[in-house]
């Protein structure tokens, strides 16, 4: 009962303190916290994809992605997306709609549920299934069967670190 009382008091004090803070407390230059951006690219939109059979020199007939017009318009533009970190190897990560146990590699999802990541600057140390928000540049691939369909380049973690 005492723990519940303490938790209630701390919660009320937090709400009261937050309610009476002035606008200056939200000035990014005065704060040391990172700014969190709302997602501008959703997994639902990434999932709106079709496939078309085409010949490939190496693999014969392959299903190539047909990127929808909304995503084509986002090529090379800044985006924000949230998802789960999937380690590919010691130097590469992907961001996924699903946790590792249900990701594309396990056969429970399609290739449109994962994006390759190229980080801006040094490679951060991340954990499998870490939930993060990334800000970066969107790139799609509709011609190289050995590459991800979607990419986040110059990626920076804005939340979840």
Alpha-carbon span 41 to 44, nearest angstrom:
9
CB contact at 8 A, 10 and 135: no
Among residues 39, 37, 38, 48, the alpha carbon closest in space to that of 150 is found at: 48
- What is the pTM assigned to this prediction? 0.74
- 11-46 pLDDT, tens digit per residue, is 433 433 333 344 433 334 444 455 557 889 999 999
pLDDT at position 73 = 95
pLDDT at position 161 = 73
CB contact at 8 A, 135 and 68: no
DSSP 80-142: EEEEEEEE-SSS-EEEESS-GGGSGGGTSS-GGGEEEEEESSSPPP--TT-EEEEEEEEEE-S
């Amino acid at each position: 009962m005492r723990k519940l009382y303490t938790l209630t008091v701390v919660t009320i004090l937090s709400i009261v303190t937050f309610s009476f803070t002035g606008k200056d407390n939200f000035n990014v230059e005065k704060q040391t916290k990172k700014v969190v951006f709302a997602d501008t690219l959703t997994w639902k939109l990434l999932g709106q994809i079709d496939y078309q059979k085409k010949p490939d020199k190496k693999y014969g007939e392959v299903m190539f992605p047909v990127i929808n017009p909304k995503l084509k318009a986002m090529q090379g533009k800044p985006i924000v997306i949230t998802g789960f970190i999937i380690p590919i190897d010691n130097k590469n990560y992907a961001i996924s709609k699903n946790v590792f146990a249900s990701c594309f590699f396990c056969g429970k999802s399609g290739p449109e549920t994962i994006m390759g990541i190229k980080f801006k600057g040094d490679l951060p140390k991340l954990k499998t299934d870490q939930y993060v928000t990334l800000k970066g540049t969107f790139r799609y691939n509709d011609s190289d069967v050995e590459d991800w369909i979607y990419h986040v380049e110059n990626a920076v973690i804005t939340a979840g670190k």
